[in-house]
Structure 1
Amino acid sequence: MIYRSIETLRRAIATRRAEGDRIGLVPTMGALHEGHISLVQEAEKTCQHVIVSIFVNPRQFNSQTDLAHYPRTEADDIALLDGRCSLFIPSVETMYPSGYCTSVQTGGLAERLEGAHRPGHFDGMATVVTKLLTITGPDQAFFGEKDWQQLQIVRRIVQDLNLPVDIVACPTLREPDGLALSSRNRRLSHSAREIAPKLHTIMQDTALAIRTGMETDAALAAGKEAFAHAGFGPVDYLECCHAETLEPARPGSAPLRLLAAAFLGSVRLIDNIVI
C-alpha cells in the first residue's frame, strides 16, 4: 500500500496497532538498492507492519546542485519492494507545509566530520527523522551503519527527546569488490567506478596499521596519501574516532571506528569500518 498523506498513514497504523502488530520504520531517500532491502528484511524479523519512507529531504542538502542531481527513481523503488511493505511517499509540501518554521538542532556529535564539511546537514536530517518517527510512531526504526555518524546522532535524538522507539543498526552491505552500497554510486562514471573500491581497501590497510601498532597520525597521513595516489580528491577527512562519541581516538580508548569522506570526480563517497 502506498500512502502520501500523513492522516491516511496514521489511520492505517492505528488499525494495525489495534490488531497487535509491531510497527517498523525504514527511512530512506529513495533510489533503493539491496542495502535498503536488507534493512527491510531485518525489520520483517520483528515487526508485522513495516513502513518504508521515501523522501528526498531538501533540508539536509548543502548544495542545490547536489539536491537536483540526487537520483529519484520512485517507479523502480516501488517495483523493487514488490508490495512487501507499506510505502510512505510524501511531497515536500506535505512534510514542510506553508508557514513551516520548526527545526531540530543538533550539536556535539554533529559538529565534527560530516558536520564540519556540510554545515546544517545534520539539522535537516534530525528534523526529518524526528518528524518521521513522530508521524509513524514505530516500535523500531532501522538504519544502516554506512552512515555511522548519522546513526549515532539519531540514537542521541531518541535519547534526548525521550522518543519511545528502538533504533536498530544494520551492517553495511558491499559489492563483491568492497564498495559500500549507496544511491550515489549510480552517479559514478565507468572509470570512477573502477577506482571507488580502493576507498575501502585503503581504509582496511589504515585500520590494520593502527591495530598493529603504527602511530595513529602517521597511519592516517599514509592513508590520505594513498587516497590521493588512487585518484581521490579532495579528501574531506580520514579519522580514527571513538565509535560512540566520535571524538578523536586517544591512547587506550575503545571501541574505535575509522571514518572517511572523499570525492571521486563530482561524487562524494563516505565509508567507515571497525578498527
Structure 2
Amino acid sequence: MKILNNRAELEQFVSEAKKQNKSIGFAPTMGALHDGHISLYKEARKENDLVISSIFVNPTQFNNPEDLEKYPRTVEKDIEKLDDSGLVDAVYVPSVEDIYPDNLESKHYNFNGLENEMEGAARPGHFDGVGTVIERLFEQVQPDNAYFGEKDFQQLRIIEALVDNLKLPVKIHGVKIHRQDDGLAMSSRNMRLSEEERNASTIIYQTLKKVNDWFRVITIPEIKNRVEEIFENQKGMELEYFLIADEETLKETDFFYKDKNYRAFIVVNVGKVRLIDNMHLD
C-alpha cells in the first residue's frame, strides 16, 4: 500500500492509473478507523481496479473549535489498519494546504433543502464544509466510484445531491451500517465511552428495532412517545432527538404514505459522547 503524503504524490499515482484505464474506488475518512470503514473498502474492492483511502480531519465542517481539537488523530494506527486489511492500494494523507491552498473557507451549496433537516438545523454551515472537502477530494482523486456509510445517512444524501447538482463524474454508493455483535453502530466516538456507557448504549439499536416492529402498527406520535419513555429511564443518557423521515427529502413525517420509504433517526448523548444511528423501516 502506497502512502501519498501530498497532492503532488496523489496526482502522480492517479495519472498512472488513468493511463492504464484502471477504475478507482474511493472512500474518504477523518481517521480513527474501525471495521465500519473497512466495510467500505470491501465494497470498493469488489468493483474497482484500484482502491484509494484518505485521512483528513476537515476543519471546515466543525462548528465548535473544541470538537475539532478533541477529534481523535491516530494516523499511524489508521495506516496500519488499512495496510493489514489488504483492501487498499493507496492512502492519501493531505495537509490543510493540499485541500485549502487559498483560504480555509467553505463554499456555499444548494443541497435541495436536505441541509436544513436534522443535523443541519442544529449545525449551520456544517454541510457546506462537508460539500467543500468532498468536492475537492473528488477533483484530486478523480474516482469512478465513491463509498459512504449509511450511518451518516444525511451526509450520504447530501453527497448524492452534490454530485447530481454539479454533474460530477463519480457514482456514489451507500454501504449498510456496520454494527458490533450487540448491534451498536460502529463509530470513531465509541472509543470515548466508558465500559459501562458502552454496554448501556446497546439500548439505541434495541429501540430502533422496536420502532421497526411498531412501524405501520401504531401512529408516529405514539412511537415517539414510547421512544421518549424508554430514554427517560436510562441513567446517564439524554435523547437529543428521535424522528421518522422520508428517505428522499429527509423531511420529518407524522403519517405514513404507502408509496414512500421511511427511516428512523436517533441521536443520544451518552455522558459526553454524542451517538447517532438510524434504520430503514420495512
**TM-score normalised by structure 1 residue count:** 0.95
User: Shift of the alpha carbon at 1:225?
Assistant: 2.2
Correspondence 1:240 to 2:244: yes
After superposition, give the CA deviation of every residue in 1:119-140 in whole Å (9 maximum; x if it has no partner): 2211111111111111111100
| Equivalent in the alignment of 1:79 | 80
Q: Distance in 1 between matches of 2:235 and 2:209?
A: 17
**1: CA distance between counterparts of 2:30 and 2:125?**
18
Match of 1:173 among 165, 173, 178: 178
Structure 2 unaligned segments of length 5 or more: list them: none
Deviation at 1:177, TM superposition (A): 0.6
Contact residue 106 and residue 122 of structure 1 kept, 8 A = no
- Partner AA of 1:79 in structure 2: E
Q: Which amino acid aligns with 1:149?
A: Q
Counterpart of 1:5, as a letter, is N
Aligned twin of 1:272: 278
1:97 equivalent in alignment to 2:105:
no
2:115 maps to 1:110: yes
CA distance, structure 1, for counterparts of residue 28 and residue 209 of structure 2: 29
- Alpha-carbon separation, structure 2, partners of 1:2 and 1:104: 31
Q: Which runs of 5+ in 1 are unaligned?
A: none
- Of stretches 158-167 and 250-259 in structure 1, the one that deviates more from structure 2 is 250-259
CA RMSD of aligned residues (A): 1.5
Task: Flag the 1:100–1:58 CA change in 2: closer, same or farther, 3 A.
Answer: closer
Question: Which segment drifts farther, 7-16 or 261-270?
Answer: 7-16
Equivalent of 1:224 in 222, 228, 248: 228
For residue 35 of structure 2, what is the aligned residue in structure 1?
34
Aligned to 2:17: 16
Provide closer, same or farther for how the CA distance between residues 206 and 69 of structure 1 changes in structure 2, counting only shifts above 3 A: same
Aligned residue for 1:214? Answer: 218
What is the total number of aligned residue pairs between the two structures?
A: 274
Q: Which amino acid aligns with 1:154?
A: I
Separation in 2 of the partners of 1:62 and 1:231?
Answer: 28
Retained in 2: the 8 A contact 1:242–1:257? yes
- Give the aligned partner of residue 133 of structure 1: 138
How far does residue 98 in structure 1 lie from its aligned partner after superposition? 4.5
Question: Residues 24 and 47 of structure 1 are in contact (CA less than 8 Å); yes or no, is this contact kept in structure 2?
Answer: yes
Matches of 2:267 and 2:179, distance apart in 1:
16
CA distance in structure 2 between the partners assigned to 1:98 and 1:168 by the alignment: 31
